[in-house]
Amino acid sequence: MKNTNLLICGFAVLLGLASLARAADPKAVAFTDPAKAGIEYELQGEYRGEIEGDDGTQTIGVQVIALGNGKFRGVGYFGGLPGDGWLRGDEKHSSEGQLEGGAVRFSVDDADVEVKDGKLTIRVAGQTLGEFDKVTRKSPTLGAKPPAGAVVLFDGSSVESFENGKLVEEKHLAATNVSSKKKLGDHAMHIEFRTPFMPTSSGQGRGNSGVYIQGRYEMQVLDSFGLEGENNECGGIYSIAQPAVNMCFPPLSWQTYDFDFTAARYDDAGKKTKNARVTVKHNGVVIHDDLELTHGTPGYHPEGPGPDALFLQNHGNPVVFRNIWVVEK
């Protein structure tokens, strides 16, 4: 049996191809209903399997990302999917693919990779090297119930807890520059979000919003599925820190942020004496561990003393939120 070096070398050859930072299509369609998103959405997603090689069994995770107009990118993670065996710094390689006859096909060195009907199949000279199943991961905190003493900001029934709140799809909170009427100091929060499927858009034009902790520190919301995981991508604290690992699920997946925040401290003269700190879980995985927030981020309110609101940024994309609750300290 061929070993994993074929797959590794093939991905490495194609690693330097076109960047994901293509200009967004201003006429791009944003899908919010999976049933209407089409075959590119159906083929996009996460695949996981094992390959028997000379050195034993190796787990491989692959993320297949739709780039619109029949183009795709595949990212192979050696050890498993991000946060599930693969960590930042572990080996990974990428390749470009094309939609042909209802399947995505990648040419990786002398291997042919096909994605079709919920399977990713690797063949060499007609022989199957590996067959991976499509997987749908869910955050372990998805649907988390507010504990005793929590304040529910949004449960799908009303937007009365927010300024400028707008209910969409009869039960979701739209990202329309909404701010909570309640002002927050030290607190823990649970919030769920969904980015749209925008295959022909990219970068900051692809499912962009932001969760502003205390209205002052932006935790990015973006369709960053398959990207590196920078501070301006999903899970990043804008201009401060990139996530430990990019835990972004495919678009139209419901995702979770769970964070524990300690506000900055100020003296009586209004001078900051201690920076704010935060621990963040994205889809159940710690991506910031007791991170020091050295400064505020642009977009809403400047850093300052006293409590302030949760702010959900409008960036022109139909991002929605649900199940938002807070525990004040």
Average pLDDT over residues 138-162: 98
pLDDT(8) > 80? no
* Structure-token pair, residue 230: 């920078």
| Cβ–Cβ under 8 Å, residues 210 and 312 | yes
Q: Hey, how many other C-beta atoms are within 10 angstroms of the C-beta on 53?
A: 18
| Cβ–Cβ under 8 Å, residues 174 and 182 | no
- Quick one: pLDDT band at residue 10, thresholds 50, 70, 90? very low
Average pLDDT over residues 225-235: 97
Nearest to 18 by CA among 96, 70, 97, 93: 96
- Quick one: pLDDT band at residue 263, thresholds 50, 70, 90? very high
| Sequence-ordered list of residues with C-beta below 8 angstroms from that of 224, at least 6 positions apart, any chain | 233, 234, 235, 246, 248
| Cβ–Cβ under 8 Å, residues 213 and 191 | no
* DSSP summary character for residue 244: S
Backbone Cα Rg of the chain: 21
Domain extents in the chain: 5-135, 151-328
Distance CA 94, CA 19 (A): 11
SS3 at position 34: helix
Residue 317 has what pLDDT?
A: 95
Q: What is the mean pLDDT of the chain?
A: 91
SS3 at position 206: coil
pLDDT digits (tens, 9 = 90+) for 97-127: 999 999 999 988 888 999 999 999 999 888 9
Residue 282 has what pLDDT?
A: 98
Distance CA 213, CA 222 (A): 16
**Antiparallel, parallel or unpaired: β 81-82 and 85-86:** parallel
Identify residue 79 by its one-letter amino acid code.
G
Neighbouring-strand partners of residue 276: 293
Pick the CATH number of 5-135 from 1.10.730, 1.10.490, 2.40.128, 2.30.30: 2.40.128
**CATH H-level, domain 151-328: superfamily:** Exo-inulinase; domain 1 (2.60.120.560)
pLDDT(1) > 80? no
Place of tokens 């050295």: 294
Average pLDDT over residues 142-152: 98
SS3 at position 299: coil
Sign of CA dihedral 222, 223, 225, 230: negative
Average pLDDT over residues 252-266: 98
pTM for the whole structure: 0.91
Sign of CA dihedral 210, 214, 217, 219: negative
pLDDT digits (tens, 9 = 90+) for 168-185: 999 999 999 999 999 999
% of the chain residues with pLDDT over 90: 86
